[in-house]
């Protein structure tokens, strides 16, 4: 096994470990560990993000992202060249009713039924560095 293959296996295992920490039902956990894991066997996984509230995840591949939605049991695929990043910094403005002071969105320009809208929001200044770290990973991946 080459170094690249070993790193790819390690990233897949890190992803599955992070998914296993979610509070998911048995059927959703099995979906991740069987269906999603089977797709990742020969994939070069670059990184991942997980939405702990919904259990959804975003997988960064070499030339695309794949969004996994355990609630629907569906996986969506988005080519990298159709993705964009939007950042909205509201720290110097009056706080809106929703309380969001910082927001980042990775989104696609594709048919409306298949659009990606992966958001990270902050309601506290203390959360911003963590979100900025995610944004830097998104932008680094987008620019490679």
| pLDDT band, residue 97 (cuts 50/70/90) | confident
Assess contact for 135 and 129: CB atoms under 8 A.
Answer: no
β-strand 47-50 against 117-122: which pairing, if any? unpaired
pLDDT at 94: 79
What is the CB-side half-sphere exposure of residue 54 using CA atoms within 13 A?
Answer: 16
**Domain 3-142 belongs to what architecture?**
Roll (2.30)
pLDDT in tens, 32-52: 999 999 999 888 899 999 999
What is the CB-side half-sphere exposure of residue 78 using CA atoms within 13 A?
Answer: 27
What is the average per-residue pLDDT within 126-130? 93
Assess contact for 74 and 56: CB atoms under 8 A.
Answer: no
Q: Can you give the residue ranges of every domain in the chain?
A: 3-142
Whether 110 shows a pLDDT value over 80: the answer reads: no
Whether 112 shows a pLDDT value over 80: the answer reads: no
């Amino acid at each position: 096994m080459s170094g690249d293959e070993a790193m790819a296996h390690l990233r897949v295992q890190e992803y599955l470990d992070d998914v296993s920490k979610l509070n998911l039902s048995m059927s959703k956990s099995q979906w991740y560990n069987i269906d999603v894991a089977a797709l990742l066997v020969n994939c070069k996984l670059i990184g991942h993000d997980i939405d702990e509230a919904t259990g959804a995840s975003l997988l960064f591949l070499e030339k695309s992202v794949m969004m996994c939605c355990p609630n629907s049991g569906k996986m969506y695929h988005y080519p990298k060249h159709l993705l964009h990043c939007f950042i909205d910094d509201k720290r110097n403005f009056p706080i809106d009713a929703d309380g969001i002071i910082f927001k980042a969105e990775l989104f696609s320009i594709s048919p409306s039924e298949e659009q990606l809208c992966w958001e990270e929001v902050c309601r506290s200044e203390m959360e911003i560095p963590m979100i900025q770290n995610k944004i830097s990973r998104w932008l680094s991946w987008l620019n490679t």
